[in-house]
Structure 1
Amino acid sequence: MTMGIDPMDLAEDDLFRELRHLHATRTETLLHGSADALANHTTRTEELEGEYLRRHPERDVDPERLRDGARRRQGAAS
């Protein structure tokens, strides 16, 4: 169930604005929202993130965010 504008119909700037807003409100929704509000927030986040990934399949992935990067950080901390 899509709430709001279908993510495929959003311009790039609008998609980013919507994603930023959802990420900014996630903790508040988790801590203080109803079960329905949290479920709706999760669904909309998945829709928008899915659209972002569809548009940017070759996005820039930081090597430090991968398992090998985490292993290197753990080894350096030891």
Structure 2
Amino acid sequence: MVALSGVRFGETNEDVRTVQKALIAQGHDIPGGPTGHFGEQTKAAYVRDRHHVNHSGSDFAARVQQADPHRPPAPY
């Protein structure tokens, strides 16, 4: 599970990398790949995801978990 509190613009961490993997798995382009840095490329992919798919936060969290199912839950 990802602690979404750690997924913020400008942050670099494994939670961001997991979100990037989920976005890429959904077909969104992040040219630099899953770097773990939440920069302009990740922001653009996330905005496209929100624009094209009207999911609740829990649905997005499920897709993030599917991208990295072996990752242990993050502390809140």
TM superposition score normalised by structure 2: 0.30
TM superposition score normalised by structure 1: 0.30
Between structures 1 and 2, the one with greater helix share: 1
Q: Which of these two proteins has the greater Rg computed from alpha carbons?
A: 1
